[in-house]
Amino acid sequence: MPTPRWNDHRVLITGASSGIGAAIAQQLAGAGATLMLTGRNEPRLTAVAQSCDSPNGRVTALAGDLTDPAFRTRLAEETRRTLGGIDLLVNNAGISMNASFETLDPDVLRIICEVNFFAAVDLTRLLLDALTESSGRILVMSSLTGLVGTPTRTAYSASKHALHGFFNALRVELRRSGVGVTLVCPGYVETPIRTRALLGDGAIQGRDHAEGHRMLSADRVAAASLNAAWRRRRLLLLGRETRLARILSLLAPGLLEMILDRATR
Ligand SMILES: NC(=O)c1ccc[n+]([C@@H]2O[C@H](COP(=O)([O-])OP(=O)(O)OC[C@H]3O[C@@H](n4cnc5c(N)ncnc54)[C@H](OP(=O)(O)O)[C@@H]3O)[C@@H](O)[C@H]2O)c1
């Protein structure tokens, strides 16, 4: 359910043209926030912006590719100009993969790390003074795969683990500024991410390899993530498999590896 707490907050959301990012945008708009939305696919981004019904906030969309550092700079500048500052940065854009490392083209690995990790770091750097000024919040969409190395997801796992290293360190650096840093780790969520996942040669997979699997809804993940960010929680684990994988990784890593190996054969 939308909450009124975000009324008057200024928010940049990456990956807002689809899935979890679109759900976050719709919920924040419902709560009266003013939004800057971004994603690559302009028609889909525009449709999400039009579906955002903000009682008193404004919704702006700027389409572009986050692998392009010049676009990241432009996006940060437009965010400052349009919103006049920022209270919440949602680093949500992400791209997944399905390939063994031996078939993974190094360029594909770099694309995944650019979108999932470097774009989040860059936008945070570019907007850090404004976030500090507002004692704002940074919400980072990681994954179960950010806690546990997952076969056929080497680059994806690496990019999500990197988010934890970077944002956990940054949280401590920002302790005195009052900026909150929240990492969210969902398990499977019902979105097109797996259908759009890259194969080893960079082709789009075009099917959901987890079809039939029990999944969280994008709406539920969005609501729980916003609630965690509001409370400035450090880490949110979403879904039973995420909590179980976390416990096994600490207490029985060999057993966890055996389960992961079987699950991907
Ligand atoms: N779905 C899951 O099971 C799951 C589980 C754990 C974590 N997550 C994480 O949740 C986040 C959102 O994923 P989702 O499930 O909502 O997937 P999604 O529906 O595929 O949305 C991904 C978003 O990222 C954007 N994006 C991808 N590549 C981009 C690029 N090069 N430049 C700019 N934007 C780009 C997409 O924009 P366009 O479509 O316009 O290109 C889209 O808006 C990701 O970080 C993902 O890793 C998802």
Domain 4-239 has CATH 3.40.50.200: no
Crossing angle, helix 19-30 and helix 42-51, to 10 degrees? 30
Residue 106 has pLDDT above 60, yes or no: yes
Structure tokens at 45: 């981004």
Q: Is the CB of 79 under 6 A from ligand 1?
A: no
How far does residue 19's CA lie from ligand 1's centre (Å)?
A: 7
Question: At a CB cut-off of 8 Å and minimum separation 6, what does 2 contact?
Answer: 27, 28, 30, 31
* pLDDT at residue number 1: 53
- Among residues 141, 131, 112, 142, the alpha carbon closest in space to that of 22 is found at 141
Instruction: Name the residue with tokens 């980072």.
Output: 140
How far does residue 80's CA lie from ligand 1's centre (Å)?
A: 23
Instruction: Name the residue with tokens 């993974």.
Output: 104
Q: Is the CB of 44 under 6 A from ligand 1?
A: yes
H-helix segments, 31-118: 42-51, 69-83, 106-113
How far does residue 192's CA lie from ligand 1's centre (Å)?
A: 8
* pLDDT at residue number 4: 61
* pLDDT at residue number 96: 98
Q: Is the CB of 157 under 6 A from ligand 1?
A: no
Predicted confidence band of residue 222 (pLDDT cuts 50, 70, 90): very high
Say how many CA atoms lie within 13 Å of 111 toward its Cβ. 16
Q: Is the CB of 48 under 6 A from ligand 1?
A: no
